[in-house]
A and B are shown apart, each in its own frame.
Chain A
Amino acid sequence: MTEIFLPRSLEGLWDIQDGYPEAAVYAGGTDLLVRLRSGLEKPSCLVCLERIEALKGVHESAQEIVIGAATTHSQILESPVIKQHFPILTKGVSVLGSPPIRHMGTIGGNIVTASPAGDSLPPLYVLEAEVEIRLKNSSRRAALADFILGPGEVDLKGGEILTKILLKRSPRWTIHHYEKVGRRKAQACAVASMAALLQVSQTGRIERARLAWGSVGPTVVISREVEEKLVGQPMSLEIFKSVSDVVKKAVSPIDDIRAGAEYRRTVAAALVQRLAEYGPWP
């Protein structure tokens, strides 16, 4: 039998980690329990974070908005604060898995699982999210883009826990966009996805752009080159088509059971063209 701990507080968690440094940590369990069942992991004991209040909820401070790492996707979807400030995150999470998966899975779990297809990740990349990582007696902050190292690989060392996701308010974005292309509408990993934040002037010129693609590289892909090419341009289909070659070079997809690499490149470029549907402007 694998022992399972359900600490109620971070203090309780640190005590367990002192006694069982080899414990595997999970929150929603929607990834770890699948891996346990298929025998890919055999931890001697488990720590479930779902009852630690300090890791839950969406909180506003003067400078930033803080999401506890064990906040479920459903709680993020229902949060008026997230809807108001970061509708792109609401859009991303709304197509993640299915209702029961969203009731169980957490944003911290989506980050630590670090799947290139994680639906919260492209929105968090364009929002330039930071994460807080804690040990018993220390804490550090890192940019999400530096924290995620590769597929399934994050910068967590020796008992460190992801505790918070921190987002800066930025009221200037005009367009919050997320689109996912999968084999089915629901309950399917992205074949390719794209998050985009655009700031558009009253005359219809793109003033700032942030784009990030999921499922087309080992981690979320961003391209400063694409963003720079869009700035100063009108919101037209021609402009969004004109960056297709740059997008196709920026991404590095693989062939897998869901799609071929070449198809993914085509979809990654096509997803940019969808932004023309917000135009013409004004």
Chain B
Amino acid sequence: MEIDAPTDRRVVDLLREDLLLTGTKESCGAGDCGACTILVDGETRLSCLMLAAQLEGRDILTIEGLSRDGALHPVQNAFVEHGAVQCGFCTPGMALASVDLLNRNPDPTREEIRDALAGNLCRCTGYQKIVDSVEIAAVALRSKAGS
């Protein structure tokens, strides 16, 4: 896909304001909160600390692209079904950080889940349900991969 944008446009502004992909959130704007997390070539990156030019030739995944053919990703399903979403502001970043973790480590311990989500703040403090949901999503993804 090709877009026209000033090279120094912050990626979070490009996504939210130019492309109207408002699933990606901005909170601190300084790399501390993880609300603006996106996946670039499969790795979590903070879209508030990247400029548009850096996206050239990269594979970008935002929360809008996580579902497939109208079906939520197993991480999203687990978040919805197991109460991992309270106000929802951290959810896109949390979900993408969880996807990154489960791609690298399909069977993480709770400690490993906490470490992987350490860059994403939930100000509703709903961390237990989020960790539970990642564990449940891991089981779902493994059984899907095995079937």
Chain A residues close to B by CB (< 8 Å) = 1-4, 6, 28-30, 33-34, 37, 46, 48, 50, 74, 97-101, 103-104, 185-187
Contacts and interface: CB of A to CB of B under 8 A. Distances in A.
Interface of B: 6-8, 10, 29-32, 34, 37, 43-46, 48-51, 53-54, 56, 97, 100, 115-116, 118-121
A48 B55 CA distance: 12
A129 B120 CA distance: 33
Nearest to B53: A4
A49 to B, nearest CB: 11
B34 A103 contact: no
B49 A104 contact: yes
A103 B30 contact: no
Contacts of A103: 43-45
Contacts of A46: 8, 51
A100 B37 contact: yes
A104 B50 CA distance: 9
Contacts of B8: 1-4, 46
21 contacts: A1-B7, A3-B7, A4-B54, A6-B54, A30-B31, A33-B50, A37-B30, A46-B8, A48-B53, A74-B43, A97-B31, A97-B119, A98-B34, A99-B100, A99-B115, A99-B116, A100-B31, A100-B45, A100-B97, A103-B45, A186-B118
A1 B53 CA distance: 12
Contacts of B46: 30, 100-101, 104
A99 B113 CA distance: 11
Contact of B53 (A6, A28, A37, A186): A6
Name the residue among A28, A37, A46, A100 with the largest chain B CB count within 10 angstroms: A100
A186 B127 CA distance: 14
B45 A185 contact: no
Nearest to A38: B30
A48 B54 contact: yes
Contacts of B48: 33
B26 to A, nearest CB: 11
A50 B54 contact: yes
Given A1-B6, A74-B43, A30 B53 contact: no
A1 B51 CA distance: 12
Contacts of A50: 54
Contact of B44 (A33, A100, A186, A187): A100
B47 to A, nearest CB: 10
A2 B8 CA distance: 6
A92 B52 CA distance: 31
B2 to A, nearest CB: 17
B49 A34 contact: yes
B50 A187 contact: no
Contacts of B44: 99-100, 103
Contacts of B30: 34, 37
B49 A186 contact: no
A48 B7 CA distance: 12
